[in-house]
């Protein structure tokens, strides 16, 4: 697992070290160990969004879920507006399962459209994107707060907890027969079919997992902003996909993993933090994201060609 991580996300790892060193040098207060809880909480929604985007991309054949961002926003709105403020529920034992259920349901709807009805994933999830943005704005026309205390703590001292949960979950998936089938389907779905892999079912489950991980990301977002805001969620979609690509996950499927996606997300977060330390405008920040992304994908391709030549 470590070996394949280095192979796939090699460039993203180097970038991570460089950016981390830069940040430590320029911004020691922000990166002081005492501030790590807050820092991780700040990066968590993006890491979660990238991790959530990964399973469907791994499943291959144009698998992608662009509704991850709006789903985060939708979960954010449901948890605060419907559960916490209207119904007065603050118990994590209700909020957590409810959020996961919403995520799984949206993921299942995406999965049904993409794998059973065979609508192109980008079109199917674009539909979900628009629907979720609309529904979120309907139930929550303007930002509102606050959030339950335990949830806000998830962005502070114990911010590592939800992220750790995601990675323990993925590590467990890694140990099951399903993981092999997912990577096989992503690698070559026709070969997987002739090898007896239930291709449609495997892809469908990938969409459900993406939905559930997006719900966790939505909770981390809620924890961070400590309120509900209908406009924040959708902004995560594209940057999460950029993070996934940066982390060495092939958009053609079958290559990479959640750890790579997370490293890509941390890279983007550190870059943002570094450039903000220089007081660079957010417009320039966008340019930097794009440049880094294209450079990373190109370098990964070069690295791949070199290692293929070495193997031949």
Give the residues lining the site for another protein (CB under 8 A): 172, 175-177, 179-181, 183-184, 186-188, 190-198, 250, 254-255, 308, 311
Nearer to another protein, 60 or 69 (CB): 60
Least distance to another protein, CB of residue 189, Å: 10
Query: 202 or 220: whose CB is closer to another protein?
Result: 202
Least distance (Å) between residue 285 CB and another protein: 33
Neighbours of 195 (CB within 10 A): 12
Q: How far is the CB of 258 from another protein (least distance, A)?
A: 16
If the CB atoms of residues 5 and 106 are measured against another protein, the closer one turns out to be: 5
Tell me whether residue 101 or residue 172 sits nearer to another protein (CB atom).
Answer: 172
CA–CA distance, 53 with 67 (Å, rounded to integer): 9
Q: Which is nearer to another protein, 141 or 196 (CB)?
A: 196
Total Cβ atoms within 10 A of residue 311: 6
Q: How far is the CB of 2 from another protein (least distance, A)?
A: 12
How many whole angstroms separate alpha carbon 253 and alpha carbon 251?
5
Instruction: Enter the DSSP assignment of 79.
Output: I
Min dist CB 171 to another protein, Å, is 10
The answer to whether the beta carbons of residues 265 and 50 sit under 8 Å apart is yes
Residue with tokens 């309907």, as numbered in its chain:
138
Residue among 1 and 17 whose Cβ is closer to another protein: 1
CB-CB contact of 75 with 212 (8 Å): no
Pull the structure tokens for residue 238.
């594209």
Question: How much of the chain is helix, strand and coil, in % rounded to 5?
Answer: 80, 0, 20
Contact 90, 205 (CB under 8 A): no
Kindly state the smallest distance separating residue 278's Cβ from another protein, in Å. Answer: 39
Dist CA 243 CA 249 (whole Å) = 9
Residues in the chain, total? 312
């Amino acid at each position: 697992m470590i070996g394949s991580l280095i192979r796939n996300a090699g460039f993203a790892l180097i970038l991570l070290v460089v950016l981390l060193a830069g940040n430590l040098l320029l911004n020691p207060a922000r990166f002081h160990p005492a501030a790590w809880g807050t820092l991780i909480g700040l990066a968590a929604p993006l890491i979660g969004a990238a991790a959530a985007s990964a399973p469907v991309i791994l499943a291959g054949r144009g698998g992608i879920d662009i509704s991850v961002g709006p789903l985060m926003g939708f979960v954010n709105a449901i948890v605060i507006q419907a559960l916490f403020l209207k119904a007065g529920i603050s118990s994590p034992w209700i909020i957590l399962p409810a959020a996961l259920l919403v995520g799984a349901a949206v993921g299942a709807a995406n999965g049904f459209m993409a794998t059973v009805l065979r609508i192109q994933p980008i079109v199917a999830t674009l539909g979900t994107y628009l629907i979720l943005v609309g529904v979120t704005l309907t139930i929550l026309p303007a930002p509102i707060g606050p959030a339950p205390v335990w949830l806000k703590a998830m962005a502070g001292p114990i911010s590592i907890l939800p992220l750790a949960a995601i990675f323990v979950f993925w590590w467990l998936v890694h140990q099951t027969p399903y993981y092999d089938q997912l990577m096989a389907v992503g690698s070559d779905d026709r070969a997987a079919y002739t090898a007896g892999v239930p291709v449609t079912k495997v892809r469908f489950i990938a969409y459900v997992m993406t939905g559930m991980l997006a719900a966790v990301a939505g909770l981390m977002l809620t924890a961070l902003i400590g309120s509900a805001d209908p406009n924040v969620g959708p902004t995560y979609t594209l940057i999460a996909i950029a993070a996934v690509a940066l982390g060495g996950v092939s958009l053609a499927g079958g290559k990479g993993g959640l750890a790579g996606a997370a490293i890509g997300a941390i890279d983007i977060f550190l870059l943002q933090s570094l450039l903000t330390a220089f007081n660079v405008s957010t417009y320039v920040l966008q340019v930097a994201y794009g440049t880094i992304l294209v450079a990373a994908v190109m370098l990964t391709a070069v690295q791949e060609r070199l290692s293929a030549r070495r193997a031949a």
